[in-house]
């Protein structure tokens, strides 16, 4: 006869596993210099125990360096390296980057950014959602102009 855990214990274990997963994702996505010593130590232990997590962390950090230091010239090598690895979700991401390779490489290389435009669009959409069904177009217009 197989042992089965009561459902509340299983749910608790799943929640704890999820919280550990969220924590480790945060550690991977944070620049190593900005990690607390305790978190860096935990991540190092996780990477030592799990070779896939170790490879994933390496790939993510290489991509982060490309993004922050504008090294779009390294993108082709990074994609090739990731596609050769056995990490399917990351390989899928790399494959999708290849679809619009020139745009991605330029975005990682050039100092120009559409961030300011995207920020304004995001602000306008937020104002529109806040005003939906509450007031006329005239009030929305005034609020957009005064929100700057």
Q: For each of the chain's 148 residues, which pLDDT tens digit applies?
A: 444 545 656 666 666 566 567 778 888 899 999 999 999 998 998 899 888 889 999 999 999 999 999 999 999 999 999 999 988 889 999 999 999 999 999 989 998 878 888 888 998 898 888 888 877 888 888 888 887 6
* Residue 2 confidence (pLDDT): 47
- pTM for the full predicted model: 0.68
Cβ count near 98 (within 10 Å): 13
* Residue 50 confidence (pLDDT): 86
* Residue 3 confidence (pLDDT): 45
Contact (Cβ atoms closer than 8 angstroms) between residue 131 and residue 107: no
């Amino acid at each position: 006869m197989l042992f089965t855990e009561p459902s509340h214990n299983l749910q608790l274990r799943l929640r704890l596993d999820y919280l550990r997963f969220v924590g480790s994702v945060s550690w991977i996505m944070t620049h190593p210099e900005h990690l607390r010593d305790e978190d860096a130590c935990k991540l190092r232990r996780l990477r030592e125990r799990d070779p896939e997590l170790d490879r994933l962390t390496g790939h993510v950090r290489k991509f982060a360096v490309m993004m922050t230091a504008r090294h779009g010239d390294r993108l082709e090598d990074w994609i090739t390296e990731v596609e050769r690895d056995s990490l399917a979700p990351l390989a899928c991401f790399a494959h999708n980057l290849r679809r619009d390779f020139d745009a991605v490489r330029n975005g990682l290389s050039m100092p120009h950014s559409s961030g300011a435009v995207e920020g304004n669009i995001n602000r306008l959409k937020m104002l529109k959602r806040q005003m939906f069904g509450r007031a006329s177009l005239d009030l929305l217009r005034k609020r957009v102009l005064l929100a700057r």
